Amino acid sequence: MRARLTFILLLATAAAAAAIQAGQTRDEVAKELGRPQAEMKAGTRVFLTYPAGELEFQNGKLVKVPPGFAAAHQESIDKAAYANTQRGKGLELYNGTWMPKANADRLRAEDAAQKAASASVAVEEEQSAAAGPRGGRSGGGQGTGPLNIQAAADIHVLENGGAEIDLGSLAVPGHITLVEFYDKSSASKAMSKRLEQLTGTRGDLSLREVDIVDFNSPVAKQFNMAVAPLVYVLDRNGQQTGQRSDDISEIQSNINRAR
């Protein structure tokens, strides 16, 4: 019975996505599609991110729906239905594969150990780099140190106790801006090292590292965060490119697509 009810709700949501059209209010869209994954404000414009894409509102009215939004939303509905079926079998999704929970726990522990080892190596590399203050969290230096990060790299850390932020306000005009939401985990430290290194080797990148404190903080709830790190890529006009991600290859792809 529960599975049937879930299926009916998914069908209703899919039908609602097909009916979304320009001119609707934000409340009308939210009533049909539910709570978005993320929200970004830029002046009088508001961008709501859903699995199927980003909806743009101007002065409270929907003005832009991505091409193929309804089809993409249907695909996300199908994936959700499949996920419910797999969970009903007692399986768990890890690294894109459904497997028994015991297997997922084992792989998770192995990956955590590997990330911790990588973080330890990163610390050793940074400590051996030439001294020279820089904005990022992972330290390091300038000149010929292992990280080879320019002293002028535009890297800043935002530690405001986990308060909500305006994502658009972090965009640097004329630059591609990476916004990393991080916690104290080794995975976040490893991601920061890679992003700081990338930013230091490209003059058109800026990096903003936002400390979420924990997953109960206002900013974590604002962006519906359940994992960290998560990275947004904003183009030179401050618009989000692609979906937020914790995959460095996907982040690099979004950077390459940004204009």
HEC sequence for the chain: CHHHHHHHHHHHHHHHHHHCCCCCEHHHHHHHHCCCCEEEEECCEEEEEECCEEEEEECCEEEECCCCHHHHHHHHHHHHHHHHHHHHCCEEEECCEEEEHHHHHHHHHHHHHHHHHHHHHHHHHHHHCCCCCCCCCCCCCCCCCCCCCCCCCEEEEECCCCCCCCHHHHCCCCCEEEEEEECCCHHHHHHHHHHHHHHHCCCCEEEEEEECCCCCCHHHHHCCCCCCCEEEEECCCCCECCCCECCHHHHHHHHHHCC
Residue 191 lies in a domain: yes
Q: Are residues 114 and 226 in the same domain?
A: yes
Q: Give the pLDDT confidence score for residue 75 in this predicted structure.
A: 81
Q: Are residues 73 and 27 in the same domain?
A: yes
Q: Give the pLDDT confidence score for residue 82 in this predicted structure.
A: 86
Q: Are residues 177 and 201 in the same domain?
A: yes
Q: Which of residues 64, 88, 112 is at a domain's end?
A: 88
The CATH number given to whatever domain includes residue 125 is 3.40.30.10
Residue 175 lies in a domain: yes
Tens place of pLDDT per residue across the chain (259 aa): 444 444 444 444 445 555 678 899 988 888 888 888 888 888 889 999 988 889 999 999 999 998 888 788 778 778 888 888 988 999 988 777 888 988 888 888 877 776 776 666 555 556 555 444 445 665 443 333 333 444 467 899 998 999 999 999 999 999 999 999 999 998 999 999 999 999 988 889 999 999 999 999 999 999 999 999 999 999 999 999 999 999 999 999 999 999 7
Q: Give the pLDDT confidence score for residue 5 in this predicted structure.
A: 45
Residue 94 lies in a domain: no
Q: Which of residues 88, 111, 128 is at a domain's end?
A: 88
How many structural domains comprise the chain? 2
Residue 17 lies in a domain: yes
pTM, two decimals, is 0.48
Q: Are residues 76 and 106 in the same domain?
A: no
Q: Give the pLDDT confidence score for residue 121 in this predicted structure.
A: 56
Q: Are residues 116 and 189 in the same domain?
A: yes
Its domain, for residue 16, covers 2-88
The CATH number given to whatever domain includes residue 57 is 3.30.1450
Residue 203 lies in a domain: yes
Q: Are residues 116 and 178 in the same domain?
A: yes
Q: Are 48 and 54 in contact (CB under 8 A)?
A: yes
Q: Are residues 66 and 121 in the same domain?
A: no
Q: Are residues 82 and 114 in the same domain?
A: no
Q: Give the pLDDT confidence score for residue 135 in this predicted structure.
A: 53
Q: Are residues 69 and 177 in the same domain?
A: no
Q: Give the pLDDT confidence score for residue 152 in this predicted structure.
A: 60
Residue 70 lies in a domain: yes
Q: Are residues 77 and 16 in the same domain?
A: yes
Residue 252 lies in a domain: yes
Residue 95 lies in a domain: no
Q: Give the pLDDT confidence score for residue 234 in this predicted structure.
A: 96
Q: Are residues 175 and 81 in the same domain?
A: no
Q: Are residues 111 and 205 in the same domain?
A: yes
